[in-house]
Amino acid sequence: MGITVCRGSPRLTILVIIGKGASAHDISRELSKVAKEVHLASRSPDFKVGKLDGYNNIWQHLMIKNVNEDGLVVFDDGSSLHADTILHCTGYKYHFPFLDTKETVSVDDNRVGPLYKHVFPPHLAPYLSFVGLLSKVIIFMSIDLQAKWVARVLSGKISLPPEDEMVASMDEYYFQMEEIGKPKRHTHELYPDEVEHLNWLTAEVGLPPLEDWRFQIYRTVLRRISAHDDNYRDNLDVDSLIQHSLPRAVLGGEFDLLLLDEMYSQPPNRATMGFLDHVGRASSVALPKATPMLALPAPPRTSVGGEVASRDLSAASV
């Protein structure tokens, strides 16, 4: 986040915030409690111009057209005001001054590239990798999966495709961006394809597909932010979302752990859920209604040759 002081020392009397993401959302609401006026500016075409519903001192504008030396801020919607401070909640500008790749890797309009799957530059892979460039995704989960992928590649457990295949994959991705009119600066924004990409990463590192409830929570939060729900953190019922996803996940074979009824709500089982998150697929069970049960996969019995011969069904339930 950047700060532009328009008049004198930084003040929070009349504040302009540039951006439409989660940071702009949260900061504008918090500062509206101490500032006289808060004005949000965005380049988004669907930004509703005018006073924000439910607030007496927050307004929304189109993007800033120009700022004069006396602090006069003129917006594209024709409105203007004298601001004390401008906050830039506009994301990150990628910059790697410490890295000399002889222009093999460059930053062009915030596109770091060329990078295979946003991580490996084909000409320097696997010796150079970038972790954490992604946005519009479950960020810490994506960083964890990327790091696991890099570790498996460097350890020799898995191999990257040949260089020409990685280049072809990138070219196809860039072409698709152009076809749908996605700006170059949004190269590393995954939405709405974040589910496909994260599950591609899980497959690469040998993990099962991610549970549906994770994405439901993530997308519910995004919808509530877009709807200006200021209490979206406090009102988010995570347990209900998980329970709601459970029947569909079980039928679709997506859950690693089968949790029935109220069992997940017990603290010891929350710890079990985290510890056993990637144990494997749940075994199929048929139980009377309201029977609490945690079902885990039956451990395989292997033959001398290493092939799975059978499963010990008596060990399938815990």
pLDDT band for position 25 (50/70/90)? confident
pLDDT, tens only, 165-179? 999 999 999 999 999
Domains of the chain: 2-88 (3.50.50.60), 106-204 (no CATH), 212-315 (no CATH)
User: What is residue 277's predicted lDDT score, i.e. its pLDDT?
Assistant: 40
Question: Which residues on adjacent β-strands are paired with residue 3?
Answer: 87
Q: Which two tokens stand for residue 245?
A: 């996803």
Distance CA 212, CA 270 (A): 17
pLDDT, tens only, 270-286? 333 333 343 333 333 34
pLDDT band for position 228 (50/70/90)? low
Check whether 41 has a pLDDT greater than 70.
yes
Check whether 191 has a pLDDT greater than 90.
no
Question: How many C-beta neighbours within 10 Å does residue 81 have?
Answer: 15
pLDDT band for position 90 (50/70/90)? confident
User: What is residue 134's predicted lDDT score, i.e. its pLDDT?
Assistant: 95
pLDDT, tens only, 141-150? 999 999 999 9
Each residue of 257-286: b (16+ CB within 10 Å) or e? bbbbeebbeeeebeebbeeeeeeeebeeee
User: What is residue 182's predicted lDDT score, i.e. its pLDDT?
Assistant: 95
Q: For residues 251 and 79, which has the higher predicted lDDT (pLDDT)?
A: 79
